Structure 1
Amino acid sequence: MTGPSSHLSATADAYDAVAVLYAELFRDAYDNLPLDRALLAAFAELARGTADAGPVAELGCGPGWVTAHLRDLGLEVFGVDLSPVMIQLAREAYPDLRFEVGSMDALDLADGELGGIVSWYSVIHVPPGEVPSYLAEFRRVLAPGGHLLLAFFESEGGPVAPFDHKVTTAYRWPIDALAELAGEAGFFEVGRMLREPLEGERFRRGHLLLRKGEPAR
């Protein structure tokens, strides 16, 4: 695995510093998000139907809630995160699951090893110019026909723009622009969802469900 760039180190340090508070504050965050859960369920159904595919990875797993939810949906799944403290918390909370410290842009995985990838609000911290290299890495480790689910903050008609995320710098993306980058990286769009902000949320949420390889028939 290559050495971390400055933004990777800054992101890891920022999440290490708030990991315990983050895990406590948002532990039940998805209980009242039926659309988000429905999209994860759709991803899980597609991933289970990918013939001869490997396990699913949640990249940027934080304290492991989504990883555990995907397990409960019937997937063989593990989590990867930059933050050692987040990984420690995930291992303590879900000792039956596998969690590893690592970077999404240089995964310690063989080509085609994964049947699916979930990046749930993790590419938001990647500088926009580096996002294509992350998508290329996702494609490398996915098996043919494997699915990728991206969740992010949507720019609501504006350009890609940084914002004052509570942990560290993050970026809002126009859903069409991110979908275009994914297409250039070799992914085909299966579906998308835009969710308006709920009470206490600042921004619209974007979701892209993508497939490696030829378009589904």
Structure 2
Amino acid sequence: MGRRKIVRDGYDKIASQYAVKRTANSEDIQLLNLLVARLQPRSKVLDAGCGSGYPVSQFLSQYFQITGVDFAAEQIRLAKTNLPYSTFVCSDLTRMPFKKDVFDALVSYYAIIHVPRQEHSRLLVDFHRILKTGGLALLCLGAGDLPEDTADYLGTEMFWSHYDKETNLRMMKESGFEVLWYKVVGDPIDAASAHLFVLAQKLA
């Protein structure tokens, strides 16, 4: 089974279970206030890898105009039901159908780590493309080196692939971003895992 199919089918299978396990009280969700403090009300924000819309899109929709993208069809179906006043698109993260300079900010939680890491640099460049100049990106990246791994996750097969913290920070800068802040944060579902959260700004 291909890597993308593993991730897509896996998240479709655990869609409802995953939504229940995610909580708006976890530290990673509180980090969204970094955007709330810096953006104007009704700013256009993309949730890249939005899943069911909970809790990231739901939290941000209190303040901003949200567009979510995910390639798991069941997750998008749930997102449209959960947040009918936001816009959700079923699309692969690496082939998003957006024009350049569209969004004021972009958030991607627990999505990039499921993309083969040799594609991460190109993905960051595309994030840069669709953000307006000065736009913000709040991203969840790998905190350690993991070329690739497939293992059980909530009862289904799942794929991960990511670089270490230093490599990710370097790639952000090489993609045209200024890194404003970063922190390694524990996974709210898997206590044995941690991820690098980065707030960055698109340079001209």
TM bucket, shorter chain: 0.7 to 0.9
Could you list the runs of 5+ residues in structure 1 that have no partner in the other structure?
Answer: 1-5
Output the CA distance in 2 between the equivalents of 1:190 and 1:94. 30
Residue 1 (structure 2) pairs with residue 9 (structure 1): no
- Whichever residue aligns with residue 204 of structure 1, its letter is A
The corresponding residue for 2:28 is 36
Give TM-score scaled by structure 2 length: 0.87
Output the CA distance in 1 between the equivalents of 2:102 and 2:189. 40
Identity in percent: 23
What is the number of equivalent residue pairs in this alignment?
198
- Is contact 1:47–1:146 with CA below 8 Å preserved after alignment? no
Deviations 1:18-62 (A, max 9, x none): 2122223x14x232x2x323321012322328xxx9611000000
Deviations 1:88-147 (A, max 9, x none): 011111222211101222221111011111011110011111111111110110100001
- Whichever residue aligns with residue 18 of structure 2, its letter is Y
* Cα offset, 1:207, TM superposition: 0.5
- Is contact 1:175–1:206 with CA below 8 Å preserved after alignment? yes
Cα 1:165/1:118, change in 2 over 3 Å: farther
Give TM-score scaled by structure 1 length: 0.82
Output the CA distance in 1 between the equivalents of 2:96 and 2:197. 23
Cα 1:179/1:165, change in 2 over 3 Å: farther
More strand per residue: 1 or 2? Answer: 2
Q: Secondary structure at the match of 2:94?
A: coil
> Which aligned pairs between 1:54-203 and structure 2 lie closer than 5 A?
55-65=44-54, 66-72=56-62, 74-155=63-144, 159-163=145-149, 164=151, 166=153, 167-196=157-186, 201-203=191-193
- Is contact 1:16–1:84 with CA below 8 Å preserved after alignment? yes
Output the CA distance in 2 between the equivalents of 1:7 and 1:110. 27
Output the CA distance in 1 between the equivalents of 2:135 and 2:175. 14
CA-based RMSD of the aligned residues comes to: 2.2
Output the CA distance in 1 between the equivalents of 2:38 and 2:50. 20
